[in-house]
Amino acid sequence: MRADDPVSLGRTGLRVSRLGLGLASLGGLFAPVSDTQAAEVLERAWQLGIRLYDTAPVYGYGRSERRTGAALADRPREDFVLCTKVGRLIERGGPDTQPIWADPPEGMGPRKDYSFAGVMRSVAESLERLGMDRVDVLHVHDPDEEFGAAVGEAYRALAALRERGTIGAVSIGVNHAPVAARFLREAAAPGPDCVLLAGRYGLLDQSGLDELLPLCVERGVAVLAAGVYHGGLLTEPDPGTPHAHTTLPPRTTARIAGWQKLCRRFEVPLLAAAVRFPFGHPAVAAVVVGARTATEVEQSAAWLAHPVPTALWDQARRAGLLPALCPVPTSCP
């Protein structure tokens, strides 16, 4: 499997690369990133054939969207799929600030707004920051923050934008699988086209399998699996890793150790298993990974291409690292 392998994004008519690039890091997630560094990351991703890019207004309070737009400005618009989000407006004095953003624009902050008018304003401002006239996939960001408004007014606004052609697909961006399943069930027909699921279908957490992923298969909803490195838990900690100074629960520590041991036995890099695993489920169209350097983009592409034998997944199920009936990738090419 290669980073640039094209795949259909469910029922949307869009084609994406198997590997997508999440752009939170380029907004200064946990550590500053310069304009030059951000441009290098996006340039290397393009060279590797990555054509799926996921940003949001809240990523660096507009900074990620601006950098993304600048980097893609000279690329043929039909050659890539661009995603952004709604649910937070970026404005002076916005009260919903988050300490995770390094060196954000002075005086600016997000304000939650899932209203119809707020969503329309958010999209207009995102297009201005991106320097584009359309977005391919628009996620309702963290709908659990104000679920009623998100599944009602925000979804209604996105459905109207989809009808107009301003966006190609309606999606939700979630960290909790039950929230996504509830949204799919309660949203007015025809409902969202995609789900961006962060951290809930990977080596350490398969809770997306309980209800959400089968529901997505049933309804033809494409899943973009994000957070497959579990926020750095599967990597060696460094100052830019959110869990570098966190004491982990014993069960999580044991699961990480189990995966490390298993991958060593099969001579497979742990992160290769992490980025390949979600593709075992038929609902998953692409995996979205973050990067703050061009080298990190290259590493993720190489891990995706690394063969992972079927026997590794079989042993993972036998060892209790995966549910017994969990679907897994069936081939190693």
Q: d(Cα 223, Cα 162) in Å, to the nearest integer?
A: 18
Which 8-state DSSP code applies to residue 101? Answer: B
- Catalytic site residue 85? yes
Among all chains, which residue has been given the structure tokens 């009936």? 325
Q: How far is CA 288 from the centre of its chain?
A: 5
Query: Among the options 53, 61, 85, 142, which is catalytic?
Result: 85
Listed in sequence order, the DSSP H helices in 144-269 are 147-149, 155-164, 177-186, 212-219, 250-265
What single DSSP character describes residue 154? Answer: I
155 catalytic? Reply is no
Cα(56)–Cα(290) distance, rounded to whole angstroms?
13
What Cα–Cα distance (Å) separates residue 133 from each residue in 94, 141, 167, 260? 26, 21, 9, 46
Select which of 53, 54, 61, 136 is catalytic. 54
- Within 10 angstroms of residue 302's Cβ, the number of other Cβ atoms is 15
Query: How far is it, in rounded angstroms, from Cα 73 to Cα 75?
Result: 6
d(CA 184, CA 182): 5
15 bridge partner residues: 8
Length of the chain: 333
Task: Choose the catalytic residue: 4, 35, 53, 59.
Answer: 59
Q: Which sequence positions are flagged as catalytic?
A: 54, 59, 85
